[in-house]
Amino acid sequence: MDTKQDIDVRGYYQSLTKKEKGKFLRYLTRKYDYPTSTISAKLREGSVLTIRFDEEMNIKKTIDEGLWMQ
């Protein structure tokens, strides 16, 4: 089942602990070369920054696959 379209990336990020958020951001930085501070700001609750379509798809893929947790 493909759940990527149902994932709220900001809500998911907010549900993580501080340690998990760090690990998640490090994975995104390594895998997709996203600047940590920028992607962190985009994922914060209430952020006015827009998450680009490609970023959102990559983040949803990361969440769906769960590889960042390993």
Q: What is the pLDDT of residue 5?
A: 66
- So where are the chain's domains? 7-69
The pLDDT value recorded for residue 4 is 55
Tens of pLDDT, residues 4-18: 568 899 999 999 999
pLDDT at 68: 95
Chain-centroid distance, C-alpha 10: 7
pLDDT band at 1 (very low <50, low <70, confident <90, very high): very low
Percent of the chain past pLDDT 70, that is, above it, reads 93
Alpha-carbon gap, residue 70 to 66, rounded angstroms: 8
Task: Give 6-65 pLDDT, tens digit per residue.
Answer: 889 999 999 999 999 999 999 999 999 999 999 999 999 999 999 999 999 999 999 999
Residues 6+ apart with CB under 8 A from 62: 24, 27, 28, 31, 68
> Measuring CA to CA, how many Å separate 30 from each of 5, 23, 35, 68?
23, 11, 9, 10
